[in-house]
Structure 1
Amino acid sequence: MKTFLGLLLLSVLLISGSSLECDTCMAQANDCTGKKQPCSSGQDRCLDALTVFTMDAPSPSKITSRVKSCFTKIECEKLKPGSSVNFGMVGAVLKNIECSRAPVISGSFFLALSSFLFLKLLW
């Protein structure tokens, strides 16, 4: 019975303690680097998007932007490479998009394991 309760507590801690994390950054460049950040509830994808903005006035110019962030599967499915948006004199084209499954932070495993061992000491 003690082993069962210990395993139950371990599994609860593993489920509740685990979270997802993605690189997060934004830059006017082809790439950016940032810190890994925990994703909010429901966000299960890591977005990596390259967008090119074009401006017509006063002189034609292009700005490349890279964004990395947490995203949802539904939001990722809506984004398609080559899709464009026009804001009057400014247009944006999504050149490259990558939505990958967000990796699980493994630090919660050690918290759960230490809790399990503590329970074993109490019983």
Structure 2
Amino acid sequence: MMDHILQLLQWLVPTGGVGMLLGWLTSTRLRHARVNKEVHDTYKAMYEDVHGQLLQLSEETSELRTLLARLERAITKGSSCRIWATCPIRRELQRTEVEPDLRQLLRQRPRARRDTPTARDHTSGDSDAPPALDLDPP
């Protein structure tokens, strides 16, 4: 009976089988260790990138806060200025977002083409008649 078990084991596990089994187990452990190291290195690189961007944004935020503080100081000093009532900066500061910017309106005004008649052009067939008076002043 013992001989049969030994023969069966020798037939199932040839001489290279044990070595191959040990090699497979160690290679699996090495593969898992390599994968874990790659994941760790990836997270480390991502952390360093995010940390660098966070530092850069922090510097930009501090610069913006400094500029905002300077602007606030200038605005508070403006009220004691002798020309504050007619100052163009005051009008610009009091303008709301829904109120259109006058400069943009002036830029967007369409120009009348020469070949299209305007409201001031004489449209009647009688060329000797005087043009109609515009009752609405500009």
Normalising by the smaller structure, the TM-score range is under 0.3
RCO (CA 8 Å, sep 6+): is it higher in 1 or 2? 1
Determine which structure has the larger helix proportion and give its number. 2
Higher gyration radius (CA): 2
